[in-house]
Amino acid sequence: MKFTFANPTQPSRGVAVIFALEGNKLTPSAKALDTATGRAITRALKVSRFEGKKGQQLTLLAPGAAGAAAKLDRVVVVGLGKAKDVDARRMQDAGGAAYTALATVAQRADVLVDQVSKRGLGAGDAAAEFAYGMRLRSYRFDKYRTREKPEQKPKLRTARICGEGAARARRLFGVHGRIADGVFLTRDLVSEPANVLYPVEFAKRARAELRKLGVKVTVMGEAQLQKLGMGALLGVGQGSVRQSQVVVMEWNGAPRKNTRPIAFIGKGVCFDTGGISIKPAGGMEDMKWDMGGAGVVTGLMKALAGRKAKVNVIGAIGLVENMPDGNAQRPGDIVTSMSGQTIEVLNTDAEGRLVLADVLHYVNERFKPKFMVDLATLTGAIIISLGSEHAGLFSNDDELSAQLSDAGEAVGEKVWRLPLGPAYDKMIDCDAADMKNIGGRGAGSITAAQFLKRFVGDTPWAHLDIAGVTWSKKDAPVVPKGGTAFGVRLLDRLVAEHYEAG
């Protein structure tokens, strides 16, 4: 979809998008268009249930009167709520709502933006955020749909955003567009079926997408992983005919070359049957997105490189399939991780933590990062705890935890911190090895995080359990149902706010 930004103007044909605050207070541009249509907008508002509240929409068909506005096909009024609440997220949500209203009915639209926020959001900023919301909501994964009728497909191709500060809006949207590129890559990866996106193919796509942006991409196959001693990760994949991979992505954008990097690590189980501890058949098809953490890290690297972030970043993903063939890992097996610590595998369906254990240790030893954040669709227990409203956050560092929480609030990808501690750590102690990979029925998400903590040493670290937020079965304002890419915008915000050179 194409976006352009222009100085204030009144549309004379096609579709116009205007705004109203709570109480049906039209913005200045909306008032001018109302006058041009012979007060058709005001009359429609009076006889409707529209009140200008957040998320409300009202569409007027053929509202034109005499004059330039006579050729307007429709006007879409979008509610913003109270002026004191209009911020970047509110404008993004409005953009998503407008896209939903227009997607199948118009090829282009003019959007009339004014400065109405009481929170310091100028007209140029508002215009950029609105366009960003439209872009995010426009995502569709339809490559395998061969029988869709034309009227079922989106028609909207162009949006012209009109208002003061067009030059600023254009600059800001240039950055937002790069972040959206990363979001879309993650959604594509998470949406692909496992027969198409297996570890080697995932690695190929990461390399193809990122190298052209200046990211150094290193792919390690099973022979190299064996030499490194990644017994925990390789044990998970040994039941699959697909070769396991580790992909390391390096973006060096800091002005000073010797600046220590920050690191993001993703679980990439491209399909998870549970292995010998096999899952129930119902819902197993969802396990194509058990690589969601790896998808987020890959999309984040595209976003950071695309906008040329002034920071050194390591992205690392462990890619495996967890399958139950005659060579598969068995319950009761003991594996030796790259760190030298031994693990008794009591449940082969608690596999993601085994993958992350080796990748976390590798990144920590190899790159000595300032901090590490890992993302994983790790436990069903986090869905029981938090549903699909928050990701679970676990950390050994209060400052990093607070930064992640603030970034999540800012972009609408919320996290909730849960505890760690010696009592939970004791639950994964083991008689046969250094640790076991499950801790019992209680506190399942916490004991999984405690397991990971044993592989990060003293490095500041946070673990995001995104099992409940990686896939959505309903539409949200800027996130259509399907793969959400939860984490890309959150972590980009974290980097932009705290870790980029000035």
Q: The tokens of 456 are what?
A: 């990060």
Q: Is 90 a catalytic residue?
A: no
b/e sequence 387-425, b meaning 16+ C-beta within 10 Å: ebebbbbbbbeeebbebbbebbebbbbbbebbebeeebb
What is the rounded CA–CA span in Å between residue 362 and residue 367?
8
What is the rounded CA–CA span in Å between residue 497 and residue 415?
17
Q: What is the structure's pLDDT at 152?
A: 85
End-to-end CA distance of the chain: 32
DSSP assignment letter at 195: T
What is the rounded CA–CA span in Å between residue 465 and residue 415?
9
Hey, what amino acid is at 245?
A: Q
For 15, 127, 154, 179, the CA distances from 158, given in Å and listed in that order, are 11, 15, 12, 19
Q: Is 353 a catalytic residue?
A: yes
List, for residues 162-209, the tens digit of each pLDDT value. Answer: 999 999 999 999 999 999 999 999 999 999 999 999 999 999 999 999
Spell out the domains of the chain, with CATH numbers in brackets: 2-161 (3.40.220.10), 179-498 (3.40.630.10)
CB 75 within 8 A of CB 60: yes
Spot the catalytic one: 137, 178, 353, 436.
353
**Who contacts 383 (Cβ-Cβ below 8 Å, separation ≥6)?**
467, 468
Nearest to 348 by CA among 275, 240, 273: 275
Spot the catalytic one: 25, 43, 279, 370.
279
Helices (H), 370-412: 381-386, 398-411
List, for residues 401-435, the tens digit of each pLDDT value. Answer: 999 999 999 999 999 999 999 999 999 999 999 99
Q: If DSSP codes are grouped into helix, strand and coil, which group holds residue 111?
A: strand
pTM: 0.97
Phi, psi dihedral angles at 6 (to 5 degrees): -135, 160
CB 481 within 8 A of CB 398: no
CB 114 within 8 A of CB 163: yes
Tens of pLDDT along the chain (502 residues)?
Answer: 999 999 988 887 889 999 999 999 999 999 999 998 889 999 999 999 999 999 999 999 988 665 667 678 999 999 999 999 999 999 999 999 999 999 999 999 999 999 999 888 999 999 999 999 999 999 999 999 999 888 889 999 999 999 999 999 999 999 999 999 999 999 999 999 999 999 999 999 999 999 999 999 999 999 999 999 999 999 999 999 999 999 999 999 999 988 999 999 999 999 999 999 999 999 999 999 999 999 999 999 999 999 999 999 999 999 999 999 999 999 999 999 999 999 999 999 999 999 999 999 999 999 999 999 999 999 999 999 999 999 999 999 999 999 999 999 999 999 999 999 999 999 999 999 999 999 999 999 999 999 999 999 999 999 999 999 999 999 999 999 999 999 999 999 999 999 998 6
Q: What is the structure's pLDDT at 12?
A: 72
For 284, 331, 333, 419, 467, the CA distances from 347, given in Å and listed in that order, are 17, 5, 10, 23, 18
